[in-house]
Amino acid sequence: MPKIQAVRPGSLAEELELEPGDEIKSINGQPIKDIIDYQFAITDEAIELEVIKSNGEEWLIDVEKGYDETLGVDWEHPTVDRIKLCHNKCVFCFVDQIPGNMRQTLNMRDDDYRLSFLHGNFVTLTNLKQADLERIARLKMSPLNISVHTTNPELRNFMVGHKKAGEILNQIAYLAEHEIEMNTQIVLCPGMNDGEELDRTIRELAPYWPQVRTLSVVPVGLTKHRRGLAEIRSVTPEEADRVISQVEAWQEKFLQEKGAAFVHAADEFYVMAGREVPPAERYDEFAQTENGVGLIRNFLDELEEIKEQIPSSLKERRHVAVVTGMSPADTIRRGIRLLENVGNLRVDLHVIRNDFYGHMVTVTGLITGFDIVAQLKDTCTADLVMIPDIMLKDDADIFLDDYTVDRLSAELGKPVLVLPANATGLIKGALGMTDKLPPRRRYEATLAHSGMLGCAGGF
Ligand code: SF4
């Protein structure tokens, strides 16, 4: 039975005197087996709640509530029952590429379609039974994010490390037939699923558009902590250039045939190849920014919009440091150049080398507090350090190495400002116009399955 872990202040649950440790036996007579049952049951406006109190008492409560009003509780597990774990052994898995003493959520090998529906996690579908597919179809659990990597059955069995992985096209066909929208991804491993294999995957997924709404191609990311994984190597700049040309050729065809680009190369390919990212119209409403697709284009377009708001001078002297990864550094420099002539303002860019995961890791989202301190402590002369939110866990101010923002600030001896990882965050943060900035983005949920290990475009 779903057990309540916390009751949020001012919530319906608090009004009903529900407490941590209480269990929900049923809603309107329906047993609640997982978060999906709960989400559907709680939408009724008149509900009968059967509760087992932590002291063993049984309560039956009738509640009148709004359609979109929930109990306002946190559950012991995010899926209410246990999270479905993966039984795969992907050749690029992030969990096999981190030091052994990282926090539990980074070691979590989840592969749970419910978390894909609710939070956008990428799933492989290898642990789905027919009953799960039917449930997804019946409850219209859409959209889902699916890691495909290749539609070649033997190759997918190998890359995902599961003997049923090759059934992916049948599963996608079933979901498409039942009108489930899917965003899909390929983690590109050179010499494995690139070249003709990449063409095959694009060609075999395209007929399922518009149900398969987008297909992203992201480069595999490797750290210095790899253990027990297949021999793979990073994408070279020449290969990145070829992937972009291949993807853009398919885009041309799909734009003519479907009016949508459908397949997208991740920003990281454009950075590696030194090529300008495509215009916004090519990004199909930016469906995969969390996967590092379109962040640079968003950033550059946002800069164009915000530059009119940049004043010629500040009233008081301001000296700030901007911290970023190596991959987006050139994009961030384009933003900082717009601030060069603002009187009384000095902005220093600090590009952090990733000593923690290894120098092949260049994205901002994988920078640790330890590396920032080590590289800024003796060089940073600014009065304030600005960091983008994608360096931190989504619901807490901690870095991947468990450094807190407070600890970073104490060790640097300066205040640290956390800002949205976009052009508005950079410009408004630098100018001290930080009120009314958008909320922080989610990040850690998709980390384990993402070959590129983070996002290129965050400053
Ligand atoms: S990448 Fe994801 S699906 Fe693959 S082994 Fe790792 S956790 Fe499992």
Q: How far is residue 453's CA from residue 459's CA, in Å, rounded to a whole number? A: 16
pTM over 0.75? The answer is yes
| 411 to 167, 323, 407, 414, 415: CA distances (angstroms) | 51, 15, 6, 8, 10
| Closest alpha carbon to 268 in 457, 74, 36 | 457
With 60 as the cut, is the pLDDT of residue 450 above it?
no
With 70 as the cut, is the pLDDT of residue 449 above it?
no
Which of 83, 94, 95, when mutated, tests ligand 1's pocket best, judged by the most ligand atoms within 8 Å of its CB? 95
- Residue 109 Cα to ligand 1 midpoint, Å, equals 6
Mean pLDDT of 365-383: 95
Mean pLDDT of 265-282: 96
| Closest residue by CA, ligand 1 atom 2 | 449
Which residue carries 């300066």 as its tokens? 414
| Closest residue by CA, ligand 1 atom 6 | 93
With 50 as the cut, is the pLDDT of residue 446 above it?
no
Q: What is the DSSP letter of 105?
A: H
Q: What is the DSSP letter of 163?
A: T
pLDDT of residue 440: 55
| Contact status, residue 269 vs residue 243, Cβ threshold 8 Å | yes
pLDDT of residue 181: 98
Give the pLDDT band of residue 438 (cuts 50, 70, 90): low
Ligand 1 atom having least distance to the Cα of 161:
5
Burial of 438 (0-12, 13-18, 19+ CB in 10 A): exposed
With 90 as the cut, is the pLDDT of residue 101 above it?
no
pLDDT of residue 231: 85
206: left (phi over 0), alpha (psi -120 to 50) or beta: alpha
- Residue 446 Cα to ligand 1 midpoint, Å, equals 10
Ligand 1 atom having least distance to the Cα of 123:
3
pLDDT of residue 436: 58
- Residue 54 Cα to ligand 1 midpoint, Å, equals 36
- Residue 396 Cα to ligand 1 midpoint, Å, equals 24
- Residue 89 Cα to ligand 1 midpoint, Å, equals 6
Which of 127, 291, 449, when mutated, tests ligand 1's pocket best, judged by the most ligand atoms within 8 Å of its CB? 449
pLDDT digits (tens, 9 = 90+) for 306-325: 999 999 999 999 999 999 99
Q: What percent of the chain has pLDDT over 70?
A: 94
pLDDT of residue 459: 59
- β-pairing, 30-31 vs 23-27, is antiparallel
Ligand 1 atom having least distance to the Cα of 96:
6
Q: What is the mean pLDDT of the chain?
A: 91
With 90 as the cut, is the pLDDT of residue 432 above it?
yes
pLDDT of residue 211: 98
| Contact status, residue 322 vs residue 459, Cβ threshold 8 Å | yes
With 50 as the cut, is the pLDDT of residue 305 above it?
yes
Q: Which residues contact 127 (CB under 8 A, 6 or more apart)?
A: 84, 85, 86, 87, 111
With 90 as the cut, is the pLDDT of residue 351 above it?
yes
| Closest residue by CA, ligand 1 atom 7 | 109
Classified as helix, coil or strand, 271 is helix
Q: How far is residue 287's CA from residue 289's CA, in Å, rounded to a whole number? A: 6
With 90 as the cut, is the pLDDT of residue 76 above it?
no
pLDDT digits (tens, 9 = 90+) for 408-422: 999 999 999 999 989
Q: What is the DSSP letter of 97?
A: G
Residues with CB under 6 A from ligand 1: 86, 88-90, 93, 95, 109, 111, 124, 448-449
Mean pLDDT of 250-276: 97
Neighbours of 396 (CB within 10 A): 11
- Strands, DSSP E only, in 326-412? 343-352, 384-388
Domains and CATH numbers, the chain: 3-75 (2.30.42.10), 95-293 (3.30.750.200), 302-431 (3.40.50)
| Contact status, residue 46 vs residue 64, Cβ threshold 8 Å | yes
CA 11 to chain centre: 28
Q: Write the DSSP assignment of 276-321 as a string of letters.
A: PPPPGGGGGGGTTGGGTSSHHHHHHHHHHHHGGG--SEEEEEEEEE
Tokens for 58, please give them.
């049984």
Q: How far is residue 326's CA from residue 364's CA, in Å, rounded to a whole number? A: 7
Classified as helix, coil or strand, 15 is helix
Tokens for 351, please give them.
């590009």
Which of 84, 87, 90, when mutated, tests ligand 1's pocket best, judged by the most ligand atoms within 8 Å of its CB? 90
- Residue 340 Cα to ligand 1 midpoint, Å, equals 44
First to last CA, the chain: 43
Ligand 1 atom having least distance to the Cα of 86:
8
pLDDT digits (tens, 9 = 90+) for 201-216: 999 999 999 999 999 9
pLDDT of residue 225: 86
| Closest residue by CA, ligand 1 atom 4 | 90
Give the pLDDT band of residue 458 (cuts 50, 70, 90): low
Q: What is the DSSP letter of 85?
A: B
Q: What is the largest CA-CA distance in the chain?
A: 69
pLDDT digits (tens, 9 = 90+) for 112-148: 999 999 989 999 999 999 999 999 999 999 999 999 9
Task: Give the H/E segment covering residue 351.
Answer: strand 343-352
With 70 as the cut, is the pLDDT of residue 294 above it?
yes
Residue 238 has phi, psi (to 5 degrees) of -65, -40
Q: How far is residue 452's CA from residue 429's CA, in Å, rounded to a whole number? A: 27
Counting DSSP H helices and E strands in the chain, the numbers are 15, 15
Cis status, amide bond into 143, omega within 30 of 0: yes
